[in-house]
Amino acid sequence: GVPLWGYVVVGLLGGLVGIAELISRYPDSPVRAVATPPGIFYATINLLAAIAALAIGAVLSDTQPVPHETPHGEVLLFRTEDLLILLATAGFGALAFLRTKLITLRVGDADIGVGPSFILDTLLHAADRAVDRARAEPRAQLISDIMAPVSFEEAKLVLPTYCFAIMQNVSVEEQQKVALEIEALSGVDMPDRVKALNLGLLLLNIVGEHVLRIAVQNLEQEFAAAGRVLESVEQEMEGIDFDIAIVNLTPLCAELADMPEDQQIEVEYEVQRMKALSLTDQTRRYLFGLFLIKTFGADIVSKAIKAIRDDISLSDTPQPSLPHP
């Protein structure tokens, strides 16, 4: 039949898929999530399903293959190519089968899939809750320690900007989500300490423990000063229509920074993506301002905003009429 190593390979494939799903759900601390008993149980379910599928496939194939002898005198039921096909079919087939929905039923406000996926979704949901419970206390203590010196009002602008600059590959969509969450936190009536902890949890999910800790340590003495810079930029942006800013501000910043043309094309691409986001004008200005500061620096952005505001003021000033001859 199938050699032992075949079951090992298929089992590892199934387990790795389960682990990958958990990692995608807990990007801030993937190892801890996988190492919890619920995480191990979920990965084991995927592992056993893949092994079971291979065993069933081997039984169903017993009547088809013809035993053959290798050059070393071994008698094998499967040729190498047939065995590889069986392993791939069993491994990926089991994973696909577990995620199959035969029909979808509407129950109340929720769509419930009927089929093997219902079992896996239920197990995943249970694993999610158990992993959350297992990690809640360590996360709370971790955030309390990291954010101890942080004031929300001083850090709400500069800390996300600095974290995203360190990471470099945080998408515009993720920055948009953070901007919306920060805007919501700013408007909630709660102690500054609680807001700071929520800000830390928000960033922890994106940048992870190490980056967040380094960012807080590096900025601890500069939160107030850096926060004032960003607030001044935000206030200056407030008086400018977003459509005017997004057309004129980016090329002006690029000119002041003497940016190469190829980099300008990349920046313009990100700006157009940002323009397409469905956000309030205030949030769009805030997100756009953060992007410009991250790209060009606060000094250049402030100069460009001042130049545009001066142009707007001049255009709004009525010109004196010439005397009639």
User: How far is CA 308 from each of CA 18, 115, 153, 240, rounded to the nearest angstrom?
Assistant: 53, 59, 28, 8
CB 168 within 8 A of CB 240: no
pLDDT in tens, 98-149: 777 766 666 666 666 667 777 777 777 777 777 777 778 888 899 999 998 8
DSSP type of residue 318: P
Q: Residues in the chain, how many?
A: 325
Any idea which residue has 């577990």 for tokens?
98
> What are 110's strand-pairing partners?
107
User: How far is CA 108 from each of CA 105, 111, 152, 215, rounded to the nearest angstrom?
Assistant: 10, 8, 39, 45
pLDDT in tens, 143-159: 999 998 888 887 887 78
- Note the pTM of the prediction, 2 decimals: 0.53
Intra-chain end-to-end CA distance of the chain, in Å: 109
Residue spans of the domains in the chain: they are 4-117, 147-325
pLDDT in tens, 225-264: 555 665 666 666 666 676 777 778 888 889 989 999 888 8
| DSSP assignment of 153-188 | HHHTTHHHHHHHHHHS---HHHHHHHHHHHHHHHTS
DSSP type of residue 135: H
CB 158 within 8 A of CB 230: yes
Among the listed residues 50, 41, 66, the one whose alpha carbon sits nearest the alpha carbon of residue 12: 50
